[in-house]
Copies of this chain bind each other. A is one copy, B any other.
Amino acid sequence: MQSSPLTPGDPAAARADGGRTGRVPRAEREQQMLDAAVLVFSRRGFHHANMDEIAELSGVSKPMVYAYLGTKEELFIACLRRESARLVSGLAAAADPTLPPDQQLWRGLKGFFEFVGAHRDGWSVLYRQARTQQPFSAEISRMREAVVEVITDRLDGALRQEGRQVKPDDLTAMALTLVGASESLADWLADHPDEDPGRTATRLMNAVWLGADQLMRGSTWRPPTP
């Protein structure tokens, strides 16, 4: 199991700062470090990632990384937070609560898959790891629960508008289905570079909005023409 440098050739060129050296303001340095860390954690996995490589890729010495972003675990969590913040802000913008539920769902899914597609080796890899590596499960659970809650709220809201109601646990199950299915297809998307994120979102809409039964009867859900 050999491990090769993430970027071959000239080490200066490999640095995330493009070789830039010397005094750099803290905020900027931190971003460079996070960039490097996301890259290394994604490629190697949390445990096989080593701080030396992250430091080198940031164009800084190890003590700087510790000084700015703390221990390895804290660094990983910082990565997770930055990436998830990016995702969440994207989704929030996409899924306008005033839209009808299928439109909300569609936009949310589309936003999600587009994000995943654009960060193929960043977000989803970190996320998957975090879900199973013990010290991060708490962090991740919180994120996941937040998402599940948003979804149940939106579904519930839509139902109430029509005077209907569904038992909370069923709503939760629906939300978990959505989240799980999305994760599953996100993995698939990450492995199929030619697949268009929008198409993936459509597929999932078909599956979860119509349901297998309808789907098998020949119904098809189509994205609204923009």
Report A's interface with B, CB cutoff 8 A.
1, 44-45, 47-48, 101-102, 105, 128-129, 131-135, 155, 158-159, 162, 164, 166, 169-170, 172-174, 176-185, 187-188, 200, 203-204, 206-216, 218
Stoichiometry, copies per complex: 4
Task: Specify which chain B residues have a CB less than 8 angstroms from the CB of A1 in the assembled complex.
Answer: 134-135
A209 touching B210 in the complex, CB below 8 Å, given contacts A47-B47, A218-B164? no
| A224-B176 Cα distance, complex, nearest whole Å | 24
Q: Would A169 and B203 count as touching, CB distance under 8 A?
A: yes
| A212-B180 Cα distance, complex, nearest whole Å | 14
Query: Which residue of B129, B159, B170 is within 8 Å of A203 (Cβ)?
Result: B170
Task: Specify which chain B residues have a CB less than 8 angstroms from the CB of A184 in the assembled complex.
Answer: 176-177, 179-181, 183-184
A177 touching B185 in the complex, CB below 8 Å, given contacts A135-B1, A216-B158? yes
Q: Would B45 and A133 count as touching, CB distance under 8 A?
A: yes
Task: Specify which chain B residues have a CB less than 8 angstroms from the CB of A188 in the assembled complex.
Answer: 172, 176
Task: Specify which chain B residues have a CB less than 8 angstroms from the CB of A204 in the assembled complex.
Answer: 173, 177
| A160-B132 Cα distance, complex, nearest whole Å | 40
Q: Which 8 A-B pairs have the closest CB atoms?
A: A180-B184, A211-B211, A173-B203, A177-B207, A177-B181, A180-B181, A210-B211, A180-B180
